[in-house]
Amino acid sequence: MGQLKANDFRVEHEKKNTHDEVVIINTCGFIEKAKEESIQTILHYNMLKEKGKVDQLIVTGCLSERYKKDLEIEIPGVDAYFGTTDLPRLLQYLKADYKHELLGERLLNTPSHYAFLKISEGCDRPCSFCAIPIMRGVHKSKPMEEILRETEKLVQGGVKELILIAQDLTFYGLDIYKERKLAFLLESLAKIPGLEWIRLQYAYPSQFPMDVLPVMNRYPNICKYLDMPLQHISDSMLKSMRRGITKRRTLELLDEIRNTVPGIHIRTTLISGYPGETEQDFEELLEFVKEQKFDRLGIFNYSHEEQTHAYTLEDTVPEELKQERSEIIMEAQQAISLEKNQSRVNSEMKVLIDRKEGAYWIGRTEFDSPEVDNEVLLDASQYYLEPGQFYQVHIDRAEEFDLYASLIHSNSVERNKIVLPGNN
Ligand code: SF4
């Protein structure tokens, strides 16, 4: 988007216009659900193109990297399909220049106070179920100077929360620096003035770089939050999934993380119905979820993806059973989440306000990532708050995934902009 803007295009993210000259769809293709959503989106815009509401339709991203030939045959109305590394070609197609000096220039499609930053692309892990390495290729770290430069620009543009993402954050540096550099990168980022929250998403558990943990403790602007997808806990499942870790080591790792970083909130994701998952494997997983009481948790039904190693196995668990198992896990997690949220009632927390929705201002604590985690709601008829500002709040009541709060005082320099109760 940054490149197009620099070429004098007017670029908008998901804006509903009556007429668009060019629509570019960035697709996802790693599991069945994502593929369906991507295809539905292409079909929708193809229909708009047929009605004359779109002049040119372009598809890029993982789905077209993986299924370009099929898509060209199945949906010929699309003007051009590009893969995951085709950005310069896509720009050329639109008669725009690829400007190397603009690397790191971004046009955010998130609210202006937070941004996702991808520190590496691709993945070298051998997880049996995963199609991502097929689409994204081998692991390639982004040089540290580029990341720091991009972050400084983002902060100058108003970003306060930076969410580091990658297929596997823990591998950062191994390819270009011949050693894991996540801890060093974090430390350098944490020193950037004005960056108030740094969040880590997607850390692979096997060979987790333990030097990251003391850095998390040392810098208050590194959120005490870690998203570590564990996928399963039964040894036979972990082995078949080729995760490079056992149940015992996973339990030790979780203990070590919690002991080294007191108060850390761990988010995980799991898979239900992987080939060969027995009732016993599932019971073990459920028990693990109940015992570990993760702060945040998500679960996917196993998706049988061609070209993966797991595709050579039989997809033994029926779809309904996968779904039933996912629901049982989520029910258990719901109770855990309610209990954890209730323990917050009457405490004071710092929240970052994301937006206003209906009758509430919606914010998050440092323990919550946007779009996937819990939210904190403040009555919009009581206060005027500013999205992108931090506030100190009192937690009044709790539900499974939401906290209701009242304002204590502003933690930001723009305190005088707040209209306190009664002045609405
Ligand atoms: S680490 Fe993540 S992206 Fe890499 S192969 Fe495993 S599941 Fe896929």
The Å distance, Cα 234 to ligand 1 centre, comes to 18
28, 124, 130, 305: which to mutate for ligand 1, most atoms within 8 A of CB? 130
pLDDT tens sequence across 29-57: 999 999 999 999 999 999 999 999 999 99
Which of the residues in the chain have pLDDT under 70? 409-424
Rounded Cα–Cα distance for residues 94 and 231 (Å): 41
- Residue 133 CA: nearest ligand 1 atom is 5
Rounded Cα–Cα distance for residues 347 and 361 (Å): 19
Q: Is 125 in the pocket of ligand 1 (CB under 6 A)?
A: yes
Residue 21: what residue type? E
CA distances from 370 to 36, 312, 352 (A): 23, 36, 10
Q: Is 133 in the pocket of ligand 1 (CB under 6 A)?
A: yes
Q: Is 167 in the pocket of ligand 1 (CB under 6 A)?
A: yes
Query: Please, are residues 273 and 246 in contact by the beta-carbon 8 Å criterion?
Result: no
Nearest residue (CA) to ligand 1, atom 2: 167
Rounded Cα–Cα distance for residues 16 and 29 (Å): 24
Phi/psi at 23 (5° precision): -115, 125
The Å distance, Cα 124 to ligand 1 centre, comes to 8
Q: What is the pLDDT of residue 99?
A: 83
The Å distance, Cα 95 to ligand 1 centre, comes to 35
Rounded Cα–Cα distance for residues 179 and 181 (Å): 6
The Å distance, Cα 309 to ligand 1 centre, comes to 12
Q: Is 31 in the pocket of ligand 1 (CB under 6 A)?
A: no
- Residue 168 CA: nearest ligand 1 atom is 1
Rounded Cα–Cα distance for residues 81 and 203 (Å): 31
Q: What is the pLDDT of residue 410?
A: 53
Q: What is the pLDDT of residue 411?
A: 47
Q: Is 373 in the pocket of ligand 1 (CB under 6 A)?
A: no
Q: What is the pLDDT of residue 418?
A: 46
Rounded Cα–Cα distance for residues 369 and 346 (Å): 22
Phi/psi at 249 (5° precision): -65, -35
Rounded Cα–Cα distance for residues 422 and 424 (Å): 6
- Residue 167 CA: nearest ligand 1 atom is 3
What is the radius of gyration, based on Cα positions, of the chain? 23
- Residue 136 CA: nearest ligand 1 atom is 3
- Residue 130 CA: nearest ligand 1 atom is 8
Query: Please, are residues 198 and 223 in contact by the beta-carbon 8 Å criterion?
Result: yes
CA distances from 88 to 10, 94, 134 (A): 18, 10, 21
pTM, 2 dp = 0.90
Q: What is the pLDDT of residue 101?
A: 78
Q: Is 130 in the pocket of ligand 1 (CB under 6 A)?
A: yes
Rounded Cα–Cα distance for residues 362 and 279 (Å): 40
Q: What is the pLDDT of residue 141?
A: 97
Map residue 132 onto helix, strand or coil.
helix
28, 84, 128, 168: which to mutate for ligand 1, most atoms within 8 A of CB? 168
Q: What is the pLDDT of residue 417?
A: 44
Helix (H) or strand (E) holding 362: strand 360-364
Map residue 90 onto helix, strand or coil.
helix
Paired residues of 27 in beta bridges: 61
Rounded Cα–Cα distance for residues 184 and 188 (Å): 6
Q: How many residues in the chain?
A: 424
The Cβ-side half-sphere exposure at 129, using a 13 Å CA radius, reads: 24
The Å distance, Cα 125 to ligand 1 centre, comes to 6
Phi/psi at 154 (5° precision): -65, -45
Q: Is 123 in the pocket of ligand 1 (CB under 6 A)?
A: yes
Rounded Cα–Cα distance for residues 200 and 228 (Å): 9
Map residue 339 onto helix, strand or coil.
helix
Strands 402-410 and 390-398: antiparallel
Rounded Cα–Cα distance for residues 420 and 382 (Å): 7
Phi/psi at 190 (5° precision): -65, -20
| Tokens at 218, concatenated | 């040392």
Taking each helix axis as running N to C, give the angle between helix 279-292 and helix 319-342, from 0 to 180 degrees, rounded to the nearest 10.
10
Phi/psi at 314 (5° precision): -85, 135
- Residue 124 CA: nearest ligand 1 atom is 4
The Å distance, Cα 207 to ligand 1 centre, comes to 14
Map residue 115 onto helix, strand or coil.
strand
